[in-house]
Amino acid sequence: YVLLHHVMGELEGQQGAWGYVAGGMGALSQAIARSAAAHGAHIFAEKAVCHVLLGRDGQAQGVALQDGTEVKSKLVLSNASPQITFLELTAQEQLPKDFVQQIQQVDTHSPVTKINVAVDRLPSFLAAPNTRDGRPLPHHQCSIHLNCESTHLLHQAFTEATHGHPSSRPMIELCIPSALDPGLAPEGCHVVSLFTQYTPSVLAGGHSWDEQARNAYADTVFDCIEAYAPGFKASVIGRDILTPPDLERIFGLPGGNIFHGGMSLDQLYFARPAPSYSGYRSPIPGLYLCGSGAHPGGGVMGAAGRNAAKVALEDFKCL
């Protein structure tokens, strides 16, 4: 289903097309922030939420920040994961026990390790070598999949991870955003985004990921790319390695799952985030879920947020 999910919708009339954000992904958040501010929104950055404020009637009344500040509101929309929203930020005694159990049972396992790479030259692939001028070619401006020549390779990579070992030939999805947006890197250099699978959250023997393990896995990934694009390893001048535990710790993604929960058939549509709660409303009146853990899931398409906003607006008119 994830493959189908990734080709839904369209971009500028082209079915299933993806787009890069000029200036990097952060520019999208900044654009949304500017639009919201222009319509009167107040944005507070680096203000961690401690819990959702509830009235005596159980209605959401705002949020309390970790610094003690209380922000009152008639409605609260949470873009955090269902686990953080309902298991950490909401008083458990105010939620139905079966709902809490359903949220606890959401599968958030993720085999993804993200590696951001800085290189001092454009990768040159054996299948389509670079031209003398070194300018990006059409394939540099697309997603390039490596180690995906057969389902056997993918199955082997998955099996290794289930035994606690990072894949020796991981599936690699390689993108070069700077091939389309040169401003992301100094002249002649590029940034390479690697979405890799499969890596376990906990290594064999119960060991945690450390710098040695992270770099060893990155070296394995670079070795694989080297087979397709000789000279890649020598071109690397910087690396940022984010394993599943890193993604959870830094971005608040349970299990490191970018979708706030697996996109499996038992966790989609009317069952996302839990049966009977796919309509963005929660058991707490006035508290809504609007992130990747809500229908229809993630993908930087804004569908969950748009749908949740429409539902919240309908309810707001009745207050």
**Do 118 and 235 share a domain, yes or no?**
yes
DSSP one-letter string for 126-191 = TTBPPPTT-PPPGGGGS-EEES-S-HHHHHHHHHHHHTT---SS-EEEEE-GGGT-GGGS-TT-EE
Range of the domain at 181: 112-250
Residues 6+ positions from 25 with CB-CB distance below 8 Å: 300
Based on the domain organization, do 246 and 119 belong to the same domain?
yes
Point out the domain boundary residue: 209, 233, 250.
Answer: 250
pLDDT of residue 1: 65
Q: Are residues 188 and 138 in the same domain?
A: yes
Longest CA–CA separation in the chain, Å? 71
pLDDT at residue 301 in the model: 85
E-strand ranges in 198-277 read: 236-242
Q: What is the pLDDT of residue 3?
A: 67
Are both 34 and 127 inside the same structural domain? no
The verdict on 19 and 31 lying in the same domain is yes
Q: Which of helix, strand or coil describes residue 124?
A: coil
Quick one: 232 and 179 in the same domain?
Answer: yes
Residue 300: the pLDDT is 86
* Main-chain dihedrals φ then ψ at residue 70, nearest 5 degrees: -110, 130
Domain shared by 165 and 209, yes or no: yes
Residues 271 and 200 in one domain: no
Calpha distance 210→231 (Å, rounded)? 27
Of 219, 250, 281, the last residue of a domain is 250
67, 177: one domain:
no
Q: Are residues 150 and 245 in the same domain?
A: yes
**Is 7 a residue whose pLDDT tops 90?**
no
Question: Same domain for 37 and 78?
Answer: no
CA 188 to chain CA mean position, Å: 29
CATH of the domain at 74: 3.50.50.60
pTM above 0.75, yes or no: yes
**Is the model's pLDDT at 15 over the cut of 90?**
no
Given a cut of 80, is residue 16 above it in pLDDT?
no
Q: How far apart are CA 233 and CA 223, in angstroms?
A: 7
The last residue of a domain, from among 250, 267, 286: 250
- Between CA 50 and CA 100 the distance in angstroms is 19
Average pLDDT over residues 58-68: 96
Question: For every residue of 47-92, which 3-state class applies, written as one string?
Answer: CCEEEEEECCCCCEEEEEECCCCEEECCCEEECCCHHHHHHHCCCH
Shared domain check, 53 and 33: no
Domain count, the chain: 3
Q: How far is CA 286 from the centre of its chain?
A: 26
